[in-house]
């Protein structure tokens, strides 16, 4: 495998866990939003929008993890880094959530300024913040598990949750402890 293909595969494999997490998370949010807004005539995101959002958030996590200030508290208890990363990821998630709502109003007005004004005046802020709180809890869980994985190792965490993994082809020594 060439160096470029190997790098693409490596980046894809790094992006896969957060992307899957956010795909599931966004589907939960959309389901709850559908239940909360049933009968109101509000539109819901399409499956393609959910996939694109999950890909954007998955890549955003990778980019954020490369920033020098993201692992700000590596020597402190895990809650420090998990809380800090949750805050950073929530800023991105809130911005994307706001843009998603702005897009709904832009489709009607075709002007960003007018759409933003209409959004601020008409948006159901209780629903917006309810979804943000739910995202906060879900993202915090993601950050806690990511920090656990960083400290104890991905393979050990996987074995703790899923049991012993099958031996990889060509592995004579078995799984590492």
The whole-number pLDDT of residue 96 equals: 78
The whole-number pLDDT of residue 177 equals: 46
The whole-number pLDDT of residue 42 equals: 66
User: What separation in angstroms does the CA of 124 have from each of 36, 54, 112, 119, 121?
Assistant: 11, 24, 19, 9, 9
Q: Is 89 exposed, middle or buried (0-12, 13-18, 19+ CB in 10 A)?
A: buried
The whole-number pLDDT of residue 16 equals: 85
CA 74 distance to own-chain centroid:
21
CA angle 115, 130, 25 (to 5 degrees): 95
Radius of gyration over every alpha carbon of the chain, rounded to an integer in angstroms: 20
pTM to 2 decimal places: 0.70
The whole-number pLDDT of residue 34 equals: 80
The whole-number pLDDT of residue 83 equals: 92
The whole-number pLDDT of residue 157 equals: 86
* pLDDT, averaged in runs of 10, over the chain (177 residues): 83 84 84 77 72 78 78 85 88 81 87 91 83 85 88 87 72 50
What residue ranges do the domains of the chain occupy?
A: 3-160
């Amino acid at each position: 495998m060439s160096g470029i293909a190997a790098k693409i595969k490596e980046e894809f494999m790094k992006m896969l866990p957060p992307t899957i997490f956010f795909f599931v998370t966004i589907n939960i949010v959309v389901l709850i939003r559908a239940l909360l807004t049933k009968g109101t005539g509000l539109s819901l995101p399409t499956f393609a929008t959910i996939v694109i959002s999950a890909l954007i958030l998955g890549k955003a996590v990778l980019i954020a993890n490369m920033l020098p200030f993201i692992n700000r508290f590596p020597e402190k208890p895990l809650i420090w880094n998990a809380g800090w990363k949750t805050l950073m990821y929530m800023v991105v998630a809130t911005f994307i959530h706001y843009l998603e709502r702005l897009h709904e109003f832009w489709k009607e007005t075709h002007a960003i300024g007018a759409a933003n004004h209409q959004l601020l005046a008409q948006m159901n802020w209780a629903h917006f913040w309810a979804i943000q709180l739910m995202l906060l809890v879900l993202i915090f869980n993601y950050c806690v598990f990511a920090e656990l994985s960083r400290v104890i190792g991905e393979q050990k965490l996987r074995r703790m949750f899923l049991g012993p993994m099958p031996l990889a082809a060509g592995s004579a020594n078995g799984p590492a402890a």
